[in-house]
Amino acid sequence: MLYDFEVLKDGSVIQTQTIHLPHIRDAWPAINRLARKFRERGHKIRVKDQAGGIVILTGVAAVRHHGEDETTE
């Protein structure tokens, strides 16, 4: 399925990319990459499905904080 990844700043979309994923849980590596690229406070990442519904909405700071807490298996 195709998903649109949008980076938002102050409610406006500043970057969009469409990625084919077998399942939405596979979105997190792409979200982590975007969070590393857009490091400023206030950025959000929104992922929409083909129907335009929001399936993930998260702040960059939250993604980066969670990523720092993860341990490698």
Euclidean distance between the first and final Cα of the chain, in Å? Answer: 28
Under the banding of pLDDT at 50, 70 and 90, the label for residue 67 is low
- What's residue 29's pLDDT? 93
What's the CA gap between 41 and 31, in Å, rounded?
A: 15
What's the CA gap between 60 and 66, in Å, rounded?
A: 10
For residue range 2-46, what is the model confidence (pLDDT) as tens digits?
999 999 999 999 999 999 999 999 999 999 999 999 888 889 999
State yes or no: pLDDT of 69 exceeds 50: no
Alpha-helical (H) ranges within the chain are 28-37, 60-69
Under the banding of pLDDT at 50, 70 and 90, the label for residue 65 is confident
Higher confidence at residue 38 or residue 47? 47
Domain range summary for the chain, segments of one domain joined by + = 2-69
